[in-house]
Amino acid sequence: MNENANDRKYLFGGAISCSQADGGFRDGGKGISTQDLRFLDSSWTPEEIEEKHQNDPFSLSEFQTALKDPSTDYYPFRRGIDFYHNYKEDLTLMAELGLEIFRTSICWSRIFPNGDDLYPNEEGIQYYVDLFTECKNHGMKVFATMIHYDIPVNLVTKYGGWKNRKMIKFFEKYVTVLFERLGHLVDYWLPFNEINAAKFSPWDGVCLIPGNEENMDQEIFQCLHHQFLCSARAVQIGRALDPGKPVGGMIARFTTYAATCKPEDNIQAIQDDQYSNWFYLDVLAKGYYPEYMQRYFDSINVKVKFEEGDEQLLLDGTVDFISFSYYFSQVSTNVEGWEKTAGNLIIGKKNPHLKASEWGWQIDPIGLRITLNQVYDRYHLPLIVAENGLGAYDKVTEDQKIHDDYRIAYLREHINQMNEAVKDGVNLIAYTMWGIIDIVSCGPLTMDKRYGVIYVDLDNGGKGTGTRLRKDSFYWYQKCIQNNGKKLD
Ligand code: BG6
């Protein structure tokens, strides 16, 4: 307790994911991944996109068509921002920004193109050796996600994907290669991006197509059980092969307040929190299924099948740190007809005290301080804010400037609240702002929902020069990092 609360320091960083940034979808021996199949017609209006993508981004016919289509035209994730070929220039810009930690994901289908291959693809491994070495040369720590939604599509078509327990063996082989070949270059490991996406965005989370399963909830939670076991195995394999290197867990954090002080709203808030957030972190960090879930499983007719040894494995493989994405908060109430609004992965209930982004996500910087306190109180593990940022339409002026004061305001307020949480005693290791450079957005699949402090000249159809420009927020974040996040004007 001797350290002055104002002296504590966390790392400032930026985050992207391979499917949203890389492109090069058949280069370097890469196999097809599940995210390569997601479809966007760039002539759709924002309303059409919202209607088609908001609730669930994928249908069986889209899946079957995409499997046969080798082009990149309708598949934004096949193009990304061409980070695969451009990473050296992009990392140079990020170094100029002063980034201390860089988060990206490793694409399983670059390492094992089909997921069940006998040997790994050396070209894929070399790409990550080069990428992470470049980060190190720029003095950045590397925060690597092993699966940010995408897996080799062959594992879905041949084995049924996460429904099949065989996935654990394929995953073990994959992560063994990662720890053995990349461990010396990675500082923080994360087996799964937002493990609770399984429930809220099934194709992303567990590669299930809505409408294609008899009992969707049963399948979701069985798939998820296999992912929990994989996470525990990653922790164990990491301890054996890359000892001392933290392996973490992550959720998309749905911060929720009771809409009123009515007891009914408060019990609703507790349950929403348990079923959407705590369940996932409790399994990852405490190592067992919490008691409150039985009631929920009964209510949706789910019986998760455990095999002998599963309980022990979960207990033995608890994570070393917790991370989460934080974009918005919502309210909980069972009052009929309460106004709704969109949020990351879900449609939430509206809080009359908050403003929202152009996509309806309610902006709540104090909610980040609340979240950090809640998560730290519950687990007392180091925390990483793995994603946080503002998706907005940006305009380029004639002299090639982007005056994104709205993004600066968003970042300033959220960083201020993180500083408050650190003073509250929270052990925060790092903040990796999402997406540090403009990338293809994950929900709508568009380029024009932009998060970056670096602008990329590409449109929703992948047209443009690909030129990178520094936004006003670039210079602001650069100064913020220089000042250690203090004195933010
Ligand atoms: C998170 C995902 O849920 O939200 C990211 O991990 C995603 O992949 C981010 O990009 C923001 O969502 P969107 O739909 O605005 O890109």
Q: Is 205 in the pocket of ligand 1 (CB under 6 A)?
A: no
Catalytic member of 291, 387, 413, 420:
387
What are the b/e assignments for 40-79, b being 16+ CB within 10 Å? bebebeeeebbebbbebbbbeebbeebeeeeebebbbbbb
Task: List, for the chain, all residue ranges whose pLDDT scores fall below the cut of 50.
Answer: 2
β-sheet bridge partners, residue 322: 249, 383
Atom 15, ligand 1: which residue's CA is nearest? Answer: 441
Phi, psi at 207, each rounded to 5°: 60, 40
Q: Is 440 in the pocket of ligand 1 (CB under 6 A)?
A: no
Q: Is residue 192 part of a domain?
A: yes
- Going from the Cα of 248 to the center of ligand 1, the distance in angstroms, rounded, reads 19
Question: What pLDDT score does 418 carry?
Answer: 97
Atom 8, ligand 1: which residue's CA is nearest? Answer: 442
Distance CA 471, CA 213 (A): 45
The domain of 12 spans 5-482
Distance CA 21, CA 420 (A): 32
Question: What pLDDT score does 56 carry?
Answer: 54
Atom of ligand 1 nearest to the CA of 252: 3
C-alpha angle with apex 17: 471 to 177, nearest 5 degrees? 140
Q: Is 443 in the pocket of ligand 1 (CB under 6 A)?
A: yes
Q: Is residue 95 part of a domain?
A: yes
Q: Is residue 489 part of a domain?
A: no
Candidates 468, 306, 314; CA nearest to 396 is 468
Q: Is residue 185 part of a domain?
A: yes
- Going from the Cα of 399 to the center of ligand 1, the distance in angstroms, rounded, reads 30
Pairing of β 454-456 and β 468-470:
antiparallel
Distance CA 382, CA 371 (A): 13
- Going from the Cα of 287 to the center of ligand 1, the distance in angstroms, rounded, reads 27
Distance CA 86, CA 81 (A): 8
Let me know if 118 is exposed, middle or buried by CB neighbors in 10 A (0-12, 13-18, 19+): exposed
- The answer to whether residue 194 is catalytic is yes
- Length of the chain, please? 489
Distance CA 404, CA 392 (A): 9
Q: Is 193 in the pocket of ligand 1 (CB under 6 A)?
A: yes
Atom 12, ligand 1: which residue's CA is nearest? Answer: 442
Catalytic member of 100, 134, 194, 219:
194
Q: Is 204 in the pocket of ligand 1 (CB under 6 A)?
A: no
* Percent of the chain's residues with pLDDT above 90: 91
Q: Is 445 in the pocket of ligand 1 (CB under 6 A)?
A: no
Atom of ligand 1 nearest to the CA of 194: 6
Distance CA 146, CA 206 (A): 14
Q: Is 57 in the pocket of ligand 1 (CB under 6 A)?
A: no
Candidates 386, 384, 387, 388; CA nearest to 426 is 384
Question: What pLDDT score does 48 carry?
Answer: 86
Q: Reduce the secondary structure of the chain to three states and give it as a string.
A: CCCCHHHCCCEEEEECCHHHHCCCCCHHHCCCEHHHHCCCCCCCCHHHHHHHHCCCCCCHHHHHHHHHCCCCCCCHHHHCCCHHHHHHHHHHHHHHHCCCEEEEECCHHHHCCCCCCCCCCHHHHHHHHHHHHHHHHCCCEEEEEEECCCCECHHHHHHCHHHCCHHHHHHHHHHHHHHHHHHHHCCEEEEECCCCHHHHCHHHHHCCCCCCCCCHHHHHHHHHHHHHHHHHHHHHHHHHHCCCCCEEEEEECCEEEECCCCHHHHHHHHHHHHHHHHHHHHHHHHCCCCCHHHHHHHHCCCCCCCCCCHHHHHHHCCCCEEEEECCCEEEECCCCCCCEEEECCEEEECCCCCEECCCCCEECHHHHHHHHHHHHHHHCCCEEEEECCCCECCCCCCCCCCCCHHHHHHHHHHHHHHHHHHHCCCCEEEEEEECCECCCCCCCCCCCCECCCEEECCCCCCCCCCCEEECHHHHHHHHHHHCCCCCCC
- Going from the Cα of 241 to the center of ligand 1, the distance in angstroms, rounded, reads 31
Distance CA 48, CA 50 (A): 5
- Amino acid at the residue 270: I
Atom 5, ligand 1: which residue's CA is nearest? Answer: 442
Residue of 54, 407, 434, 447 to mutate, ligand 1, most atoms within 8 A of C-beta: 434
The count of domains in the chain is 1
Residue of 363, 387, 433, 436 to mutate, ligand 1, most atoms within 8 A of C-beta: 387
Q: Is 35 in the pocket of ligand 1 (CB under 6 A)?
A: no
- Going from the Cα of 446 to the center of ligand 1, the distance in angstroms, rounded, reads 11
Distance CA 380, CA 269 (A): 22
Cβ partners under 8 Å of residue 477, min gap 6: 12, 97, 411, 433, 453
Q: Is 449 in the pocket of ligand 1 (CB under 6 A)?
A: yes
Q: Is residue 110 part of a domain?
A: yes
Q: Is 367 in the pocket of ligand 1 (CB under 6 A)?
A: no
Contact between 392 and 358 under an 8 Å Cβ cutoff? The reply is yes
Atom 2, ligand 1: which residue's CA is nearest? Answer: 442
State pTM to two decimals. 0.97
Q: Is 452 in the pocket of ligand 1 (CB under 6 A)?
A: no
β-sheet bridge partners, residue 11: 430
Residue of 250, 325, 410 to mutate, ligand 1, most atoms within 8 A of C-beta: 325
Contact between 471 and 405 under an 8 Å Cβ cutoff? The reply is no
CB atoms inside a 10 Å sphere around CB 372? 25
Contact between 259 and 265 under an 8 Å Cβ cutoff? The reply is yes
The model's pLDDT over 275-316, given as tens digits with 9 standing for 90+, comes to: 999 999 999 999 999 999 999 999 999 999 999 999 999 999
Q: Is residue 102 part of a domain?
A: yes
Contact between 245 and 268 under an 8 Å Cβ cutoff? The reply is no
Q: Is residue 487 part of a domain?
A: no
Cβ partners under 8 Å of residue 294, min gap 6: none
Candidates 99, 110, 114, 95; CA nearest to 148 is 110
Q: What is the CATH number of the domain that holds 165?
A: 3.20.20.80
Q: Is 450 in the pocket of ligand 1 (CB under 6 A)?
A: no
Residue of 344, 345, 390, 437 to mutate, ligand 1, most atoms within 8 A of C-beta: 344
Q: Is 387 in the pocket of ligand 1 (CB under 6 A)?
A: yes
